[in-house]
Amino acid sequence: MARSSRLDWKSALHHVMARGIEKSTIFNNDNDRAQFVFRVERCVVETGVSIYAWALMPNHIHLLIRTKDIPLSKFMQKLLTGHANYFNKQHDRVGHLFQNRYKSILVQTENYLLKLVRYIHINPLEAGIVSNCRMLKMYPWTGHPGLIHPGYYPWQETSQVLNTFSGNKTDKIEQYRKFIEESEEIAYQDGRFNEGTFLLGANGLLSLDESEEEEIGGYSQYRVLGDEEFARNIYEKVSHSRKGQLRDRRIEHDSVIGILEYAASKWRIPRTAITSGGRTKNVSKARELVCHMLINVMGMSLVDSGRILNLSCQGVRAAADRFLPDYEFDIEIDNILFKQ
């Protein structure tokens, strides 16, 4: 049942995606988006990460991030929890805004940095939010204007992307613009950017290009975007767990225990009452919260959730559907899910 540790160490490059819970909207207007961009800037200053590309979509976000001394998880906790609290207060809503914590893929810089910058920045084109590349240059909710006009977003790292092109500053910007505009259709069609090229598991590497859907479930969710040599090097790091190379994340088991303990404390019942079939009002309310958290926030399957709670799949779904997010639990639960 354990959730895989995230792949993260100093100077690691990550493609990070975070989606609204049940595909819900996470930005209602430009003020929400401006507040999010301001929060990104503040989190960059506080954590020292570098952001090469980003895009704000109606119900999800993309970030291309290189970490330094502070883990990716700390940056994402500050960013997502802060935005959820702002959004809930601003729009008079309660409950979680984002599905799961977030999805991250470790990226091979030399093969995929530029390709991911392009893929992320043309997301508004693919979604029909803007109709052409000329409008994309003026669209403020991606990092594309920041590369066309370096300094547009002072916190956005532009030099490494532009320095992959040749010539003076003007030449590099023009080559970047042509790279985006001349190959946008290719980027649309490449599903590797959202899923990776390899999964790492107990049995070794699994190539996502060659695997069948049923094979994937048996592998851990270490996702890598790179060539086979890069993936094998990462696999060696994970397998041998050399000291200092990997940051251990809280496993799923500990998150589940934390949620159970929180629910038990909130409704003043023994933790075992939630998993033993009790039917008092407080036990039912606690169980509804736990079911909601397991399947809607953590993304756990109905089968696994049912095993934890001694419920059928139908029972888990019904309890989650009954949950009413009218309790002030967001910050406490987020601390459980993000805590390392």
**For a pLDDT cut of 70, what percent of the chain falls above it?**
82
Q: Which of the four pLDDT bands, split at 50, 70 and 90, describes residue 3? A: very low
What is the chain's Cα-based Rg? 21
CA pair distance 127, 145, nearest whole angstrom: 18
Contact 295, 316 (CB under 8 A): yes
Per-residue CA distances from 338 to 11, 71, 80, 99, 248 (Å): 21, 11, 10, 13, 12
* pLDDT higher than 70, residue 206: yes
Residue 244's pLDDT is 34
* pLDDT higher than 90, residue 326: no
Q: How many residues does the chain have?
A: 340
What mean pLDDT is reported for the chain? 84
**What would the mean pLDDT of 111-115 be, rounded to a whole number?**
93
**What would the mean pLDDT of 312-329 be, rounded to a whole number?**
79
Q: Best-predicted range by mean pLDDT among 26-30, 131-135, 177-181? A: 26-30
CA pair distance 8, 249, nearest whole angstrom: 9
Residue 298 exposure: Cα atoms within 13 Å on the Cβ side: 32
Contact 157, 63 (CB under 8 A): no
* pLDDT higher than 60, residue 255: yes
* pLDDT higher than 60, residue 245: no
CA pair distance 181, 132, nearest whole angstrom: 9
pLDDT tens for 56-111 read: 999 999 999 999 988 898 899 899 999 999 999 999 998 889 986 788 999 999 99
Per-residue CA distances from 168 to 92, 178, 256, 269 (Å): 50, 15, 54, 67
Torsion of CA 202, 205, 209, 211, to 10 degrees: -40
Residue 61's pLDDT is 98
Domains along the sequence of the chain with CATH: 13-240 (3.30.70.1290), 252-338 (1.10.1750.10)
Q: Which of the four pLDDT bands, split at 50, 70 and 90, describes residue 185? A: low
Per-residue CA distances from 185 to 12, 47, 162, 232 (Å): 28, 35, 21, 30
* pLDDT higher than 90, residue 2: no
* pLDDT higher than 90, residue 190: no
Angle between helices 313-322 and 281-292 (to 10 degrees): 100
